[in-house]
Every structure is written in C-alpha cells, then in structure tokens.
Structure 1
C-alpha cells in the first residue's frame, strides 16, 4: 500500500525538476569529396559577376566547419567580431547550422550571466558557436549567430585556399560607414528619380501643346461661285 501511495503521489503532483529526452535520427553526413565539390560550386564566381554586385573577390570568404568542412556561412553576412573571446558574429547562416531549443545559462567565464542557444553543425554535430538571448556585457551581439573561431575554417575564394579562422584578421565592420554609404545611395537615387519625373512632365507638356496645334480651328474652303460679301457699316 505504501508503494502504491507513493506512485499515485508521483503521477498526480507536478514536478519542477527533470527533463524529457527525445531521440532523433542522426543527420546524414557528407563525404569529403561531396563537400569539396559543393564548396567549389559555391566559390565559382567570376570577376565580372562580382563586379556587378560591387564585390571584391579578395573580400569573399566561406566559413566551414573545422571537422567536416560543411559550409556554415559567408563573409557577406559578417557583422562583428570579438577578438578577446574568439567570436565572429553573422547575421545569417546556412541551414547546416542547427540552433538547439534548450536555453543555457553561463555562470562563469566570458559569458557569465548570459543566456544562449548552442549552435551545432548538422553534419558532424560539432559545437560551432552560440546565439545569445540575453547578455549585459555582450548586448551588441544579441540575436546574431556567433561562431567560434577555433571551430571554423575559412575558404578564400580568390586563392581557393583554406585557413583557420583563428589565424585570420577579419575586416572591422563599421555600421556608421554603412549607414553613411546607404544615405549617399538614397540621395543619388532620389536625384535620379527627380530628374526622370521632370523629364516626364516636360514630355507630357509637349504632348499637350502638340495636340492643341493638331486640333486648331481651320477655315473651311468656299464653294465655287460663292463670293464674300462686305458688311456696310
């Protein structure tokens, strides 16, 4: 009876602690030749196509997993870097980056007091970074995909070589410069639109004038044998 009473108590009363483990199938792993061909396909950009997008080939880099060389992201979405803790922050990553549902809390180290989701590689399940949910000291990285430099290698499109991210110096990304450049582009676009608008107005005015000339009243020819009569005052 005592055992039965304890079992009823366990199933009836809510329990705060504990966790539910859900098993899932291991993702399909890619072989090295397949991943290498994929990287070469992604990196097969010509100089002309890059110039059309206002990109320089030496600035284009692919971020890959150090263990299985799966493509995780690229330098086009690089937003910031933290040299002290060895992170590169990206706005977007590929679908091969898995964001774990469980929220972790760090109680020591560089991320002390921060809550985050762990980022894993889909192919080899290697921990490649974090996604900060709440942080005081690293508030500027909140919401970005922060990749560990020690877990990432960089594929340079210009030289087609692979370099460890920890040995690379990434360009400093300044939001102020990008905003200033965006403002300049908006001003130029506004000037072009204004010029086209004035040109259309001039063309419309010219069409109206031409139509008035076309419909101007013309005297009808007199019938043969008909004479004009003068009015006597």
Structure 2
C-alpha cells in the first residue's frame, strides 16, 4: 500500500518546473516514487502519473511465488515511437475507407434530394 505525502517538492531544470508529491510505503515509510501534480502545459500528459523508483520496490512473481527487487527485473517493450508510428499507419489506412463512405453518403443524400 502507498500513501501520498502532502509535502510537495518542486523540480526545476532550465525552464521545466514540475511539482511532485512523494509516494511512501505504508509499511516501511520509504519513498518509493513520486506523483506528478503540476507540469508546464507541454507536459500535461504527465500530470497525475505515478513514477516509481525501481530500486525501492520489491515485486511478487505470481507463477514462482517469490519476491525479487524490481531493479533486477527487465521488461521487454517496444519503443513508444515505433508504437505511435504503427498506430498512425493504422489510422491512415482507415481514413481512406471512411472518406469513401462519406463521399458515397453525400452522393446518396444529394441524389435523394433531387428525386424528391
């Protein structure tokens, strides 16, 4: 279980100012991460994000029923840029059929108006 401390800290790097609150373990009272409370407008997506410190966290692995340090674990993931590019390609592929459907609907509504 985690608790969010009310004391806030401000990080400042150049023109970047973020206000964060510490996340503390209720059991051992260690800081295990931060939650981002306030960011510049261009970083809006980071607000309310929990950032956990891998070195401060233990993970319970379900299938082996053991606990390990999170810093010992590695996670295979696809880089975000690749995922975004794949999604863009999918959206572009869908936009062509959608534009054709709109065109056909427009043509039908025009032809039905002339028939009335």
Give the TM-score range, shorter chain. 0.5 to 0.7
User: Do the aligned residues in 1 keep the contact of 2:22 with 2:34 (CA within 8 Å)?
Assistant: yes
1:148 aligns with 2:63: no
Report what 1:192 is aligned to. 97
Report what 2:4 is aligned to. 98
CA distance 1:180–1:161, change in 2 (3 Å)? farther
Could you tell me which of 17, 32, 47 is aligned with 1:128?
A: 32
1:155 to partner: Cα distance: 5.2
Question: Counting strand residues as a fraction of each chain, which structure ranks higher?
Answer: 2
Structure 2: stretches of 5+ with no match in the other structure: 12-18, 37-45
CA distance 1:160–1:179, change in 2 (3 Å)? same
- CA RMSD across the alignment: 3.8
Q: How do residues 62-73 of structure 1 correspond to structure 2 at under 5 angstroms? A: 70=1
Listed one character per residue, the Cα deviations across residues 144-184 of structure 1 (whole Å, up to 9, x for unaligned) are 64322233234567x48565222211224523212212321
1:167 aligns with 2:72: yes
CA distance 1:198–1:145, change in 2 (3 Å)? same
Q: Whole-Å Cα distance in 1 between the matches of residues 100 and 88 of structure 2?
A: 18
Report what 1:118 is aligned to. 22
Moved over 6 A (4+): none
Q: Whole-Å Cα distance in 1 between the matches of residues 91 and 65 of structure 2?
A: 37
Question: Counting helix residues as a fraction of each chain, which structure ranks higher?
Answer: 2
- Greater relative contact order structure (CA < 8 Å, 6+ sep): 1
**TM-score between the two structures when normalised by the length of structure 1:** 0.32
CA distance 1:188–1:119, change in 2 (3 Å)? same
User: Do the aligned residues in 2 keep the contact of 1:100 with 1:120 (CA within 8 Å)?
Assistant: no
Greater C-alpha radius of gyration: 1
